[in-house]
Amino acid sequence: MDKGITLPVATHGIKKDNARSEGVINVRWEAAKKKAVYTYNEKPYTDLTKLSADLAVAKKAADQTGSKGKNPEYRVVIRGDREAMPGAFRLR
């Protein structure tokens, strides 16, 4: 987890389902550069096409190993910095 991200507060947040496989994308806002920095597995990505490809590989690996819980679906969690500009999270 990227500790440099300030998460927004979810007053009505849903409890996390720990029984599924997931990938976590951290989106940190660099105010000085006015741009978002994306990280996945501690690796920064400037090319979101490469990030998408790496997520597809992770999903395929999770599908092959299976999940121990009631919800075997792979999901991606996006942890976005609350300081990010609107539209910074668009994955193209």
> 43-45 and 22-30: which strand pairing?
unpaired
pTM of the entire structure? Answer: 0.65
Identify the residue with better confidence: 29 or 84. 29
Q: What is the pLDDT of residues 47-88, one digit of tens each?
A: 889 999 999 998 888 877 765 555 567 888 888 887 766 665
Residue 90 to residue 73: CA distance in whole angstroms: 23
pLDDT at 30 over 70: yes
pLDDT band with cut points at 50, 70 and 90 for residue 43? very high
Tell me whether strands 22-30 and 75-80 are parallel, antiparallel or unpaired. parallel
At 62, which amino acid appears? A
